[in-house]
Amino acid sequence: MRIALLTETFLPKVDGIVTRLIHTVEHLQRNGDKVLVISPEGGITEYKGAKVYGVSGFPLPLYPELKLAVPRPAIGDALDDFKPDLIHVVNPAMLGFAGIFHSKVHNIPLVASYHTHLPQYLQHYGFGMLEGFLWELLKLTHNQAALNLCTSTAMVEELKTHGIERVDLWQRGVDIEIFHPDRASEEMRNRLSENNPESPLLLYVGRLSPEKEIERIKPILEAIPNSRLALVGDGPHRQALESYFADTNTNFVGYLTGIDLASAFASADAFVFPSRTETLGLVLLEAMAAGCPVVAARSGGIPDIVTDGVNGFLFAPTEDDEGAIAATIRLLEQKQEREVLRQNARLEAERWGWGAATSQLQNHYRQVLNKEEFPQAA
């Protein structure tokens, strides 16, 4: 198959969407498919044998790390040269519209995938009144596709509820070789804890942005004597968070990737994830693969990954902070139970290698190319 992948975010950006895409591109190419990636320009022209066509853009005012690339005729030329069998638009917005338009004009099968729960994000940026309008826009966009993929069962049902049709699951994936309990190291624990390795070490990995609700970790940190918090990642909310956590034992680590990131997960005592806007929460699966017990909000796609009391702890996101505090304290104090959770978390992660996730995606592509019927909205 020849697959054109149009995405609003790609390397060198670091987030869960990009992680999924780079592993998908690698495995598609390895399996004999040919991939063209069209994304905002980032200085990358090739990845794992796939050509990357960068489109110049401008940074989003509320999120400068993200670039908006405006569709232009050259995108159509790149698609014409590549001659795709199928077009896949990821979180279709600006570049996604170019992919949708090209698929209609040239009668090329179209797949769309939903990775970012934008309607919920609006609440955190002061635009909650636009949520209904955004759902209508999403419905209009996604219903152009022969198939819409989501990364959790919760999001499949959410999209169906809002009138989006032909929705199915794109299963989770994680690199179980890089993310492994054996990556734990004293050096990384010293780095994360700022040379306080004996202290309880809490970890957060992800974007530092308002919708992640990182502020909700502070009461947990304050409730556990001598505990330390390492925030791995960066984003538009960093300065506000540095001020908010100024009187606590919090280390703003910045970005980590590859082995360093895997070592961070494996070297911490608990991974705390309060976000209520996750379509899946890939970092949770990475933490679990590395044997780091997780405490997370029971929201969005997270219960697809974390089974409360089996491979991690969930807390009710609408309650006060007591549930999250109690779960984290229990995790830290009950060493035998924590070890069972660590083992179960690793076993769960081992079920979800990227090879299997990409094989499932290829089957979805073949169904679209064969014009098979897909579920309609409820």
Whether 181-349 and 2-173+353-369 are alike in CATH topology: the answer is: yes
How far apart CA 6 and CA 21 sit, in angstroms, is: 11
CA end-to-end span of the chain: 31
Q: What residue ranges do the domains of the chain occupy?
A: 2-173+353-369, 181-349
Residue 335 φ then ψ, to 5°: -65, -40
Q: Among candidates 313, 309, 308, 264, which has minimal Cα distance to 289?
A: 264
pLDDT in tens, 162-182: 999 999 999 999 999 999 999
pLDDT in tens, 16-66: 899 999 999 999 999 999 999 999 999 999 999 999 999 998 886 666 667
pLDDT in tens, 122-138: 565 566 666 777 789 99
How far apart CA 165 and CA 328 sit, in angstroms, is: 39
- What pLDDT is recorded for position 377? 47
CATH of region 2-173+353-369: 3.40.50.2000
Are the beta carbons of 296 and 302 closer than 8 angstroms?
A: yes
For domain 181-349, the CATH class is alpha beta
Are the beta carbons of 204 and 217 closer than 8 angstroms?
A: yes
Structure tokens at 115: 């990775």
How far apart CA 71 and CA 57 sit, in angstroms, is: 10
Q: Among candidates 254, 47, 283, 323, which has minimal Cα distance to 174?
A: 283
pLDDT in tens, 297-350: 998 889 999 999 999 999 998 767 899 999 999 999 999 999 999 999 999 999
- The DSSP line for 165-224 is -SEEE----B-TTTS-GGG--HHHHHHHHTS-TTS-EEEEES--SGGG-GGGGHHHHHHS
